[in-house]
């Protein structure tokens, strides 16, 4: 599992509140990714990082921001959560020297 | 936009039968990968095939790639109930960059009945 953990694993919040999801890895891989998974849409890339303080947008980045101040942590923030952001969020890394991604266990977020 | 599209969306078979899933994509690629997701879990990498390869095997898995048709297929032989999961193809677009971004399809839900 490449030592990837996500926290929290489940969260229920209200519309308009800020939410931060954390992805932590223990193997110092350079590339990290945040996806959301929704029925009928598969996985869609939100943001990714290619190093400390180096991030870029993915396919569905509106309403989300990210930060990476340490190699091991990649944070996803919803500044003002909306019901359309109810989803399962997955963090992933690309294992150094390979082209394959390894995924965390996911965070189920419900915005009421 | 989705780069890869799996077909069928759902597949139900009996244990011991073979399962074939297909993936079509739109733009040129460096490689194509298949992932499995058990219900409520993260995705797990199964196999990667590069654009200059035509077929690859891993245990009971066989992947083919036809770059002229922009399509791939995943064959699971002698299926087991434990193979019940969603299967996704993912493409690494040949964009010239090295950010290892993948674009996933919507997946095929495979159910293997005991």
For A17-66, the DSSP string reads --EEEEEEESS--SEEEEEEEETTTEEEEEEEEEETTEEEE-TT-TTEEE
Residue B93 CA to residue B101 CA, distance in Å, equals 8
Residue A7 CA to residue B11 CA, distance in Å, equals 33
Among A42, A45, A103, whose Cβ lies nearest the Cβ of B101?
A45
Top-confidence residue, B114 or B95? B114
Band the pLDDT of A83: cuts 50, 70, 90: very high
Residue A3 CA to residue A22 CA, distance in Å, equals 14
Mean pLDDT for the stretch of residues A68-76:
97
Band the pLDDT of B101: cuts 50, 70, 90: confident
For residues A75-112, b (16+ Cβ closer than 10 Å) or e, as one string? bbebeebeeebbbbbbbbbbbeeebbbbbbebbebebe
Structure confidence at residue A80 (pLDDT)? 96
Residue B65 CA to residue B99 CA, distance in Å, equals 23
Residue A91 CA to residue A110 CA, distance in Å, equals 17
pLDDT in tens, B23-51: 999 988 889 999 999 998 999 999 999 99
Residue A4 CA to residue A101 CA, distance in Å, equals 11
Mean pLDDT for the stretch of residues B62-82:
97
Q: CA of B9 to nearest chain A CA: how many angstroms apart?
A: 10
Structure confidence at residue A30 (pLDDT)? 93
Mean pLDDT for the stretch of residues A11-25:
97
Portion 45-104 of B in contact with A at CB < 8 A: 45, 48, 88, 90, 92, 99-104
Q: What percent of chain A has pLDDT over 90?
A: 88
Nearest CA in chain A to B97: A50
Band the pLDDT of B95: cuts 50, 70, 90: low
Residue B84 CA to residue A101 CA, distance in Å, equals 21
- Both structure tokens of A55: 């991030």
Q: CA of A28 to nearest chain B CA: how many angstroms apart?
A: 16
Residue A90 has pLDDT above 80, yes or no: yes
Mean pLDDT for the stretch of residues A54-68:
95
Mean pLDDT for the stretch of residues A32-36:
97
Helix-strand-coil split of chain A, %, nearest 5:
5, 60, 40
Q: Which of A34, A32, A8, A35 is nearest to A19 (CA)?
A: A8
Structure confidence at residue B3 (pLDDT)? 65
Q: Given an 8 Å threshold on Cβ–Cβ distance, is B42 in contact with A59?
A: no
Band the pLDDT of B1: cuts 50, 70, 90: very low
Among B2, B31, B105, whose Cβ lies nearest the Cβ of A99?
B31
């Amino acid at each position: 599992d490449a030592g990837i953990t996500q926290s929290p694993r489940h969260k229920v919040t209200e519309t308009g509140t800020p939410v931060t999801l954390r992805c932590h890895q223990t193997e110092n891989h350079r590339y990290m990714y945040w996806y959301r998974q929704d029925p009928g849409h598969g996985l869609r890339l939100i943001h990714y990082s290619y190093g400390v303080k180096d991030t870029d947008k993915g396919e569905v980045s509106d309403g989300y921001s990210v930060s990476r101040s340490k190699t091991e942590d990649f944070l996803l923030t919803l500044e003002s959560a909306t019901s359309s952001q109810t989803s399962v969020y997955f963090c992933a890394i690309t294992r150094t020297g390979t082209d394959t991604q390894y995924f965390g266990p996911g965070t189920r977020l419900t915005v009421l | 936009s989705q780069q890869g599209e799996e077909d069928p969306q759902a597949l139900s078979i009996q244990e011991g039968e073979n399962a074939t899933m297909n993936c079509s994509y739109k733009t040129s690629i460096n490689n194509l990968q298949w992932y499995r997701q058990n219900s409520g879990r993260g995705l797990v990498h199964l196999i990667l095939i590069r654009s200059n390869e035509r077929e690859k095997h891993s245990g009971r898995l066989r992947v083919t790639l036809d770059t002229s048709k922009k399509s791939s297929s995943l064959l699971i032989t002698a299926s087991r109930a434990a193979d019940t999961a969603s299967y996704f193809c993912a493409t690494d677009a040949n964009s010239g960059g090295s950010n290892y971004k993948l674009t996933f399809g919507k997946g095929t839900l495979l159910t293997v009945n005991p």
